Structure 1
Amino acid sequence: MNTELDTAELGEKIVKVLKTIFDPEIPVDIYELGLIYDVFVNEDSEVKILMTLTTPNCPVAETLPLEVEEKVKSLDMVKDAEVEITFDPPWSQDLMSEEAKLELGML
C-alpha cells in the first residue's frame, strides 16, 4: 500500500469536505475564501488543519473550527482531526480564489 498516494487521496477528500462548509457572512465556502492555510495528514490518517477566520471576533469563531473538525472526522479514512486557528498571517481578500472573487463580484 502506497501511503503517499493514500494521503494525497485523503487530502483531496478533505478538501471536498471543506468546500461544503460556508462562512455565514459570505456566501463562499471556507476553502475558496482562503481560510484554510494548510492540511497535514500523517501516516496514521490523523489530520491537522491550520486555518484562520475572516476576523478574530468572527461570530462563528467557536463553532466553525468544530464544524471543520467534525466533518473531517466523519470521513472513513480519517482516524482523528484537529483544527488549529491562527491569525498569522491575518486573512485578507487576497487569499480568496478567483472563483470566490467572481462569486462576490470582485472581478
Structure 2
Amino acid sequence: MDLSELPEIEEDKIVEALRQVYDPEIPVNIYDLGLIYNLDTHPNHKVDVKMTLTTPGCPEAATFPGKVEAAVKSVPGVVDAEVELVWDPPWTKDHMSEDVKLALGIW
C-alpha cells in the first residue's frame, strides 16, 4: 500500500469516532468522559492511544481497548492503531467535560 495515496489523518475525525464508543455503565461517550488521555498520529498512518477506565476493576477492561482500536481504525487514513490502557494518573470526575458534568448533575 502506498501511504502517500491515503488521506491525511484528521484528529477531529478520530475524536468523532471515539465519541461513538460509550461506557456501558454511564450513558456518556469515552472521549467526553475523559477516558482518552493521549492521541498520537504518525506519518506511517498509525495512531497510538493512551486511555484509562473509571476504575481498575471495570468489567469493560478486557473489551474497551479493542473497541477503541476498531473505532480509530475506522477513520479514513488510519492504517493501524494501538491502544494502551494506563492507570496513571487515575481517572477522576475532573477529567469529564463540563457538558458531561452538567448533564450528569456532577459538580
TM-score, normalization by structure 1: 0.89
SS at 2:55 equivalent: coil
Establish whether residue 53 from structure 1 lines up as the match of residue 53 from structure 2. yes
Alignment of 1:1-107 (within 5 A): 6-7=8-9, 10-107=10-107
Cα deviation, residue 74, structure 1: 1.9
User: RMSD of the TM alignment (CA)?
Assistant: 1.0
Deviation at 1:75, TM superposition (A): 1.9
For residues 16 and 96 of structure 1, what CA distance do their matches in structure 2 show?
16
Write out per-residue CA displacement over residues 28-79 of structure 1, whole angstroms, 9 at most, x where no aligned residue: 1100110000000011110000000001110100111100001111223101
Q: Percent identity?
A: 52
Unaligned runs of 5+ in 2: 1-7
Structure 1 unaligned spans of 5+? 1-5
* Conserved 8 A contact 1:28-1:103: no
Query: Per-residue displacement from partner, 1:70-94 (whole Å, max 9, x unpaired)?
Result: 1111223101000000000000001
User: 2:94 is matched by which residue type in structure 1?
Assistant: D
TM-score (norm 2): 0.89
When you count helix as a share of all residues, which structure comes out higher? Answer: 1
